[in-house]
Amino acid sequence: MKITPAVFEAYLKCPTKCWLRATGEAASGNTYAEWVQAQIAAYRETGTARLVAASPQDEVALSPDKENVKAATWRLASSLAVLAEMDSCALESELHAVERVPAAGRGKAAQFIPIRFVFTNKLGKDDKLLLALDAVALSKALKREVSLGKIIHGDDHATLKVKTSALAGEVRKRLEKIAALLANPAPPDLVLNRHCGECEFQARCRKIAIEKDDLSLLANMSAKERQKLRNKGIFTVTQLSYTFRPRRRPKKQRDKREKYHHSLKALAIREKKIHIVGSPELKIEGTPVYLDVEGLPDRDFYYLIGLCIGNGESAVQHSLWADTVEDEGKIWREFLAILETVDKPVLIHYGSYETDFLRIAALRHGQPANNSSLTTTLAASINVLSITYAQIYFPTLKNGLKDLAGFLNFHRSDDRYSGLNAIMARHLWEQEHNWTVRQSLLTYNTEDCHALRCLLHELSPLCERGNDLRCGDKVVLTDSLRHDNIHRFGRIDFLIPDFECINRAAYWDYQREKIVLRSERRGQRPANPNYHERRRKIPPNKIIEISPRTSCPECGDSPLYKTRKIAKTVYDLKFGRFGVKRWIVKYTCCGYRCNVCGARFANRSKEWPTHSVGRGLLSYVIYHLVELRVSHRALSHSLSKLFDVSIGRTSINLVKARAANLYRPACSAIEASLIRGRVLYCDETHITVEGKTVFAWVFCDSNSVVFRRTETREGSFLKEVLQEFKGVLVSDFYAAYEAIDCPQQKCLIHLIRDLNNDLFKESYNDELKALAWQFGGLLRRIVDTIDRFGLKTRYLRKHGHCVSGFFRFLSKQDYATEIAARYRDRFERNRQTLFTFLEYDGVSWNNNTAEHAIKSLAILRKAMGGSSTRAGTDDYLVLLSVRETCKYMGVDFLDFLRSGEKNIHTFAENRRGRGRRPATDDPTALSGEESAQN
Report the alpha-carbon distance of residue 735 to residue 575 in Å, rounded: 49
Say how many CA atoms lie within 13 Å of 508 toward its Cβ: 17
SS3 644: coil
Q: Identify the band that residue 462 occupies on the pLDDT scale cut at 50, 70 and 90.
A: confident
The predicted pLDDT at position 918 comes to 43
Q: Is the pLDDT of residue 615 over 50?
A: yes
Q: Identify the band that residue 485 occupies on the pLDDT scale cut at 50, 70 and 90.
A: low
Cite the beta strand spans of 86-185 per DSSP E: 90-101, 111-118, 148-153, 158-163
Q: Is the pLDDT of residue 825 over 80?
A: yes
| Structure letter (DSSP) for residue 726 | -
The predicted pLDDT at position 566 comes to 85
Q: Is the pLDDT of residue 717 over 80?
A: yes
The predicted pLDDT at position 537 comes to 39
Question: Which of 217-221, 405-409, 609-613, 619-623 bottoms out in mean pLDDT, i.e. has the lowest?
Answer: 609-613
Report the alpha-carbon distance of residue 810 to residue 813 in Å, rounded: 5
Q: Is the pLDDT of residue 534 over 80?
A: no
Q: Identify residue 66 by its one-letter amino acid code.
A: K
Q: Model confidence over 78-95: pLDDT tens digits?
A: 988 888 887 778 888 889
The predicted pLDDT at position 917 comes to 45
Judged on CB neighbours under 10 Å (0-12, 13-18, 19+), 240 is buried
Question: Which of 365-379, 501-515, 611-625 bottoms out in mean pLDDT, i.e. has the lowest?
Answer: 501-515
Query: What proportion of the chain, given as a percentage, has pLDDT over 70?
Result: 90
Q: What angle do CA 272, 276, 279 make, to 5 degrees?
A: 165
First to last CA, the chain: 91
Identify whether the C-beta of residue 681 lies closer than 8 Å to the C-beta of residue 849.
yes
Q: Is the pLDDT of residue 521 over 90?
A: no
Identify whether the C-beta of residue 502 lies closer than 8 Å to the C-beta of residue 777.
no
Q: Model confidence over 124-156: pLDDT tens digits?
A: 999 999 999 999 998 888 888 889 999 999 999
Q: Identify the band that residue 255 occupies on the pLDDT scale cut at 50, 70 and 90.
A: low
Q: Is the pLDDT of residue 920 over 50?
A: no
Identify whether the C-beta of residue 903 lies closer than 8 Å to the C-beta of residue 911.
no
How large is the average pLDDT for residues 328-338? Answer: 94
Alpha carbon 571 to its chain's center: 54
The predicted pLDDT at position 780 comes to 94
Nearest alpha carbon to residue 354 among 402, 289, 291: 291
How large is the average pLDDT for residues 214-239? Answer: 90
The predicted pLDDT at position 919 comes to 46
DSSP conformation letters of 518-565: HHS-TT-PPPP------------EEEEEPPPP-S-TTT----EEEEEE
SS3 506: coil
Nearest alpha carbon to residue 698 among 723, 670, 727: 670
The predicted pLDDT at position 801 comes to 93
| Structure letter (DSSP) for residue 237 | H
Q: Identify the band that residue 601 occupies on the pLDDT scale cut at 50, 70 and 90.
A: confident
Average pLDDT, the chain: 85
Q: Is the pLDDT of residue 927 over 50?
A: no
How large is the average pLDDT for residues 501-520? Answer: 69
Q: Is the pLDDT of residue 523 over 50?
A: no
Convert 595-605 to b/e letters by CB count within 10 Å (16 or more is b). Answer: eeeeeebbbee
Q: Identify the band that residue 498 occupies on the pLDDT scale cut at 50, 70 and 90.
A: confident
Higher pLDDT, 246 or 296: 296
Q: How far is CA 632 from CA 611, 645, 706, 864, in A?
A: 19, 14, 24, 9
Report the alpha-carbon distance of residue 74 to residue 859 in Å, rounded: 86
Q: How far is CA 773 from CA 498, 756, 799, 834, in A?
A: 8, 11, 17, 17
Question: Which of 512-516, 566-570, 578-582, 655-659 bottoms out in mean pLDDT, i.e. has the lowest?
Answer: 512-516
The predicted pLDDT at position 213 comes to 93
Compute φ and ψ for 382, nearest 5 degrees: -105, 120
Identify whether the C-beta of residue 321 lies closer than 8 Å to the C-beta of residue 295.
no
Q: Is the pLDDT of residue 360 over 70?
A: yes
**The length of the chain, given as a count of residues:** 934
Q: Model confidence over 881-916: pLDDT tens digits?
A: 999 999 988 899 999 999 888 888 888 888 765 544
Q: Identify the band that residue 516 occupies on the pLDDT scale cut at 50, 70 and 90.
A: low
Q: Is the pLDDT of residue 308 over 90?
A: yes
DSSP conformation letters of 727-788: SEEEE-S-GGGGGSSS-EEE-HHHHHHHHHHHHHHTTT-HHHHHHHHHHHHHHHHHHHHHHH
Identify whether the C-beta of residue 790 lies closer than 8 Å to the C-beta of residue 518.
yes
Q: How far is CA 917 from CA 314, 574, 576, 898, in A?
A: 97, 15, 13, 11
Alpha carbon 61 to its chain's center: 61
Identify whether the C-beta of residue 546 lies closer than 8 Å to the C-beta of residue 608.
yes
Question: Which of 466-480, 494-508, 619-633 bottoms out in mean pLDDT, i.e. has the lowest?
Answer: 466-480
* Paired strand residues for 305: 293, 320
Q: Model confidence over 46-66: pLDDT tens digits?
A: 999 999 998 888 888 888 876
Identify whether the C-beta of residue 277 lies closer than 8 Å to the C-beta of residue 258.
yes
Say how many CA atoms lie within 13 Å of 338 toward its Cβ: 23
Report the alpha-carbon distance of residue 415 to residue 761 in Å, rounded: 39
Judged on CB neighbours under 10 Å (0-12, 13-18, 19+), 131 is buried
The predicted pLDDT at position 508 comes to 67
Q: Is the pLDDT of residue 533 over 50?
A: no
Report the alpha-carbon distance of residue 646 to residue 652 in Å, rounded: 10
The predicted pLDDT at position 512 comes to 65
Nearest alpha carbon to residue 121 among 160, 153, 151: 153
pTM of the model: 0.57
Q: How far is CA 78 from CA 5, 51, 114, 142, in A?
A: 16, 9, 10, 17
Q: Identify the band that residue 468 occupies on the pLDDT scale cut at 50, 70 and 90.
A: low
Q: Any long-range contacts for 433-441 (C-beta under 8 Å, 24+ apart)?
A: 438/321, 440/414, 441/294, 441/304
DSSP conformation letters of 367-390: PPPTTSHHHHHHHT-EEHHHHHTT
How large is the average pLDDT for residues 715-725? Answer: 89
Q: Model confidence over 790-809: pLDDT tens digits?
A: 999 999 999 999 999 999 99
Identify whether the C-beta of residue 730 lies closer than 8 Å to the C-beta of residue 679.
yes
Q: Is the pLDDT of residue 874 over 60?
A: yes
The predicted pLDDT at position 254 comes to 66
Q: Model confidence over 377-428: pLDDT tens digits?
A: 898 899 999 888 888 999 999 999 999 999 988 988 887 788 899 999 999 9
SS3 163: strand
| Structure letter (DSSP) for residue 218 | S
The predicted pLDDT at position 830 comes to 92
* Paired strand residues for 82: 93
Nearest alpha carbon to residue 249 among 240, 261, 238, 239: 261
R_g (Cα) of the chain, nearest Å: 43
Q: Model confidence over 689-712: pLDDT tens digits?
A: 887 889 999 999 989 999 999 998
